[in-house]
Amino acid sequence: MPARKHTQWLAKPHIDYVDSRIYNDWDIYHEEMEKIFKKVWIPICHESEIPDINDYRTAAIAEQNIVMVNLKEGVRAYENPYNLSVAGNLDDTTWLIDCSELHCEVKYGGMVWVTLDPNPTMDVEQWAAGAFDCIQSALDTEPLEVFHYHKGIIGSNYKLWHDTNSEFYHDYMHYFNRVTGFNEDYFARKNTGFPNGHVNVGSFEVQYDKFDGADRGALSFPTLPPNQWYMVDLFPGMNINLRGSALRTDIVTPLAPNKVLIEFRGFGLKKDTPEERAERIKHHNTIWGPFGRNLHEDLIGIAGQGTAMAPGTEHRHVLHGRKENDTIHDEVGMRHYYEEWGNWMGRDPANPMRENAVWENRQDAHVQM
């Protein structure tokens, strides 16, 4: 190999990165609430959580309290100026007349989507932009229902939870994944980018029989063969993870630059027999329950990142430069996400504090559509 010239040694490497201040700066956090979270569609809950007329569930988007109510005319969302409990049934709904109604749609397996934007430029299907196509038939063929819910408040930035669902080299810390998943098909699957910052990850068959006691048999979701693994990451903070018989969603609610609420739901089919439901619950909780094999390891990981990049720490560059032909360990999903973040924010994620900066789309950082 010929020796490098001095100009080659001094040249800046062509590597994509972000500045850690996008994870801990208060001004950026407030700007994200205004420019992103008040503008996009957020899946707040599932229709099975409010099954009866006048059932409600509360939540928050961009520090705005909201309430979803199952009314006779369908599920509706409103700004919530009252101190309602998390969920319940309303004896009287006349007070809703005085509340600002929000745009709301029930879509993709019964998820309840809400936007704070009074004049959204696209509906939920346009917002998803095809990211659900790989699993839409599995979500919509039979009604789903939530059988598991838990939440965590983590000392970390919401974007770091996206990152841990987007990069897969952290799979090496999951013993269960190493045993059941590391085969040629796992390493060959591709990341596919969609408009609006979304990404899905190609499927492969997980070898559950490699782990003693983990064999899942033939139980799956409609139209899908057993033991397939699908994942969809939606901008700015939702993940859908389908592992054969187990379906999980994560929804993030930023609470501060270094504090995030993550809500986890597990789903089955309404038509499940008692035996099938027991199997789904077992399969879900083995990996993703509060004491499962994987989820707590992911949370520990982003908590450590949150500590390393907490407000007041020295800023640093976080590399997103791994390029492996869009395969599973390529960081193309994160480059795609942060390009979208830059578009919404008008800031360069690699240099977010630059005054009067004009963010330009970097095609080399974008997933090929």
Answer with the residue of higher pLDDT: 321 or 88: 88
Confidence of residue 360 (pLDDT cuts 50, 70, 90): low
Q: At residue 172, does pLDDT exceed 50?
A: yes
Counting residues of the chain whose pLDDT is more than 90, the rounded percentage is 61
**For strand 74-79 and strand 199-205, is the pairing parallel, antiparallel, or unpaired?**
unpaired
| pLDDT reported for residue 146 | 98
Instruction: Report the C-alpha gap between 230 and 216 in whole angstroms.
Output: 16
Q: Which tens digit of pLDDT belongs to each residue from 176-219?
A: 888 888 888 888 888 899 999 999 998 888 888 888 877 777 89
| Strand runs labelled E in 62-158 | 64-71, 74-79, 87-89, 101-107, 111-115, 144-154
| Residue 11, C-beta contacts closer than 8 angstroms, at least 6 positions apart | none
Count how many residues are written for the chain: 369
Percent of the chain beyond pLDDT 70? 92
- Is the Cα torsion angle 29, 33, 34, 40 positive or negative in sign? positive
Give DSSP secondary structure letters for 254-322. EEETTEEEEEEEEEEETT--HHHHHHHHHHHHHHHSTTSSSHHHHHHHHHHHHHHT-TTSPP-EEE---
DSSP 8-state class, residue 146: E
Q: What is the pLDDT of residue 223?
A: 92
Q: Is the pLDDT of residue 2 over 70?
A: no
Mean pLDDT is lowest, of 103-107, 172-176, 307-311, for 172-176
Instruction: Answer yes or no: are the C-beta atoms of 350 and 40 closer than 8 Å.
Output: no
Sheet-wide strand order for 87-89: 42-46, 111-115, 101-107, 74-79, 64-71, 55-61, 87-89
What's the pLDDT score for residue 9?
43
Residue 53 in tokens: 């007329």
Around Cβ 53, how many Cβ atoms within 10 Å?
12
- Helix then strand then coil, % of the chain, to nearest 5: 30, 30, 40
How sure is the predictor about 5, in pLDDT bands with cuts at 50, 70 and 90? low
289-337 per-position pLDDT tens digit = 888 888 888 888 899 999 999 888 888 888 888 888 888 888 889 899 9
| DSSP H helices in the chain | 6-10, 26-32, 124-128, 136-140, 158-166, 175-181, 184-188, 274-288, 295-308, 332-345
Does position 83 have pLDDT exceeding 60, yes or no?
Answer: yes
Q: Which of 68-77, 208-217, 269-278 has the lowest mean pLDDT?
A: 208-217
Phi-psi region of 125 (alpha: psi -120 to 50; beta: other; left: phi over 0): alpha
Amino acid, res. 291 = F
Q: What is the pLDDT of residue 3?
A: 53
Residue 1: predicted pLDDT:
40
Instruction: Give the lowest-confidence range in 37-46, 174-183, 270-279.
Output: 174-183
Region of 88 on the Ramachandran plot (φ > 0 left; ψ -120 to 50 alpha; else beta): left
Task: Examine the pLDDT at 359 and tell me if it is beyond 60.
Answer: no
Asked whether 47 and 106 are in contact (CB, 8 A), the reply is yes
Nearest CA to 342 among 266, 235, 242, 253?
235
pLDDT of residue 204: 82
**Most confidently modeled of 95-104, 306-315, 348-357?**
95-104
- pLDDT mean across residues, the chain: 88
Q: What are phi and psi of 35, to 5 degrees?
A: -90, -25
State how beta strands 317-319 and 55-61 pair: unpaired
pLDDT category at 62 given cuts 50, 70, 90 is very high
Q: Measured at the alpha carbon of residue 276, what is the angle toward residues 270 and 280, in degrees to the nearest 5?
A: 85
Q: Which residues pair with 102 in a beta bridge?
A: 77
Asked whether the predicted pLDDT for residue 265 surpasses 50, the reply is yes
- The single-letter code of the amino acid at 118 is P
Phi then psi for residue 124, to 5 deg, are -65, -40
Instruction: Lowest mean pLDDT of 14-18, 39-43, 116-120, 211-215, name the range.
Output: 14-18
Q: What is the architecture of the domain spanning 10-39+130-365?
A: Alpha-Beta Complex (3.90)
For residues 236-254, give the mean pLDDT.
Answer: 93
